[in-house]
A and B are shown apart, each in its own frame.
Chain A
Amino acid sequence: MPVLTGKELRIVGFLCNWCSYGGADTAGVGRFNQPTDLRIIRVPCSGRIDPLFIAKTLINGADGVLVSGCHPRDCHYAEGNFYARRRLEVLKRFLPILGIDPARFDYTWVSASEGQRWQKVVTVFTEQIHALGPATRHENVSPELLAKVASAIQGGNRVAA
């Protein structure tokens, strides 16, 4: 079954097992209502999240990607989220040059006890994605926009050389 048309957007979460996945569990145990869009992929550590997973997810048409790990200094594996922080920040700043709105990707830190924070993160992020609307895939760029950009390139834009 696809996402519910008109109701949900495709949002993929990558969560570390020890903190944020636990935080999402805590939010569930506390019955903290959340939007239903998010689908969570569990990984052992935010350090396991190759930024290319996120790029792949977005390029392949997801409307949003949310990453969450342990707070800095609280990593179950001591250093994983420190590496993640650098790599994810680089990716976030890389997305706009590819034509992907950086607001479609966010990363944060939520501990296993922060159920309420998780609820807030999911709610705010989902609202943010809904405000952006469904993402366009590179393949589906409108012919008008493609024609406009193509003519600018052929019209002597140095990039095309």
Chain B
Amino acid sequence: MSRLDALKTRIKEALPGLECVIGWQKGYDALHNTPLFIRGEADVDKLEWGALNVHNPAVYLPSFAGKKVGVVVKGCDSRSVVELLQEKLIDRDNVVIFSAGCDGVVDIAKVRAKLAAAGLSAGNAEKVTVDGKTVTVTAAGKAVSMPLAEVAADKCLRCQFPNAVLADAFVGDPAPQVQAAPAADADLAALDAMSVPERMAFWRYHMDRCIRCYACRNACPMCVCRDHCIAQSREPHWLSQEDSVTEKLMFQVVHAMHLAGRCTECGECQRACPMDIPVLALKKHLNRTIHDLFNYQAGVDVAAIPPLLQFKLEEDNIKERSW
């Protein structure tokens, strides 16, 4: 039985006790899968599993607080579920986690680039098949094959958890561990290589494009403030509505600092950005800092306390400056 069929079987069994099960379905075109909310048995067959399931369905869980729901997750998504559980934003008794091994998902931008290189437009994609390690896209009647490794999301190239860290129903064989590819952290490496003033210019260049749509925030499973985000409130009034680079960058700083020790690097913020602003790099840098300082990784252990919500009397890696 395929992973998809096994998932469907398990979901059908559990569905009577659940308000809904969140997963993926075929989207508006062959390249895009979109979120699926399974409310009845007829919906179960719409479920998809595979390289086009790019969304992180954990983002929807807090809005179902108080109701018992199921969620289908990839390994990376499961870390968001763990983080939400850890922060008591969802209740373990009210969430049933379905999962299977994940061989990676595509980065649509990379697929688009490959198609463009073949003289094709992604808008014309008619059919997508993923066979083992190859993605084949048919557009305008012409099939283009590309290795999954070349069009996979960056996070898949360094994936530590191809299998869910927490699942109630894990079906099929676990996916093999991934050998981290250097390309996965090229974004950070590029920033690291710059001088401090160059980084300022870098953000000046990118943030200038920001249209303050907050898609990055809305896609983030850990942005639990939702309607009460301080980016748009007057009480407190952290940001003005001025369309300036400083205000727009300040929002990214707010987002990143609020995620310090909580971000699982699912990458949804950057994927959702319509202006292709590399906002994930900020969070990756912070995660690296948090790891260096506190030897901590978010979304792995439900019982852990996020490092900025605790302390040690003597910190291991914080040295006091002598004056």
How many A residues touch B, CB cutoff 8 Å? 48
List chain A residues, Cβ under 8 A from B250: 55-56, 59
Q: Is B289 an interface residue (CB 8 A)?
A: yes
Q: Which of A101-139 contact B (CB under 8 A)?
A: 101, 106, 108-109, 117, 120-121, 124, 136-139
A71 to chain B: closest residue by CB: B320
Contact A159-B191, Cβ < 8 Å, known A52-B238, A86-B311? yes
- Interface residue tally of chain B, by bracket? 35 or more
Q: Which of B71-117 contact A (CB under 8 A)?
A: 109
Complex interface bits, A42-75 against B, C-beta within 8 A gives 1, otherwise 0: 0000000001100110011000000000001100
Of the listed stretches A13-21, A29-37, A143-151, chain B binds: A143-151
Contact A138 B249 (CB under 8 A): yes
Contact A94 B256 (CB under 8 A): yes
State in angstroms the CA–CA spacing of A158 and B184 once bound together. Answer: 10
Contact A83-B200, Cβ < 8 Å, known A97-B282, A120-B323? no
State in angstroms the CA–CA spacing of A30 and B249 once bound together. Answer: 42
Of the listed stretches B2-10, B13-21, B26-34, B202-210, chain A binds: B202-210
Contact A138 B186 (CB under 8 A): no
Q: Is A85 an interface residue (CB 8 A)?
A: yes
Contact A93 B276 (CB under 8 A): no
Contact A99 B246 (CB under 8 A): no
B202 to chain A: closest residue by CB: A149
Contact A85 B199 (CB under 8 A): no
Contact B253 A55 (CB under 8 A): yes
Min Cβ gap A88→B in Å is 9
Partner of B285, one of A94, A117, A141: A94
Contact A108-B204, Cβ < 8 Å, known A59-B253, A82-B313, A96-B196? no
Contact A89 B246 (CB under 8 A): no
Q: Is B213 an interface residue (CB 8 A)?
A: no
5 contacts between A and B (CB under 8 A): A82-B311, A90-B308, A98-B199, A108-B321, A138-B204
Q: Give me the interface of B with A, judged by CB distance under 8 Å.
A: 109, 183, 186-187, 190-191, 194, 196-207, 238, 244-246, 249-250, 253-254, 256-257, 260, 276, 278, 281-282, 285-286, 289-290, 292-294, 307-308, 311-313, 315, 318, 320-321, 323
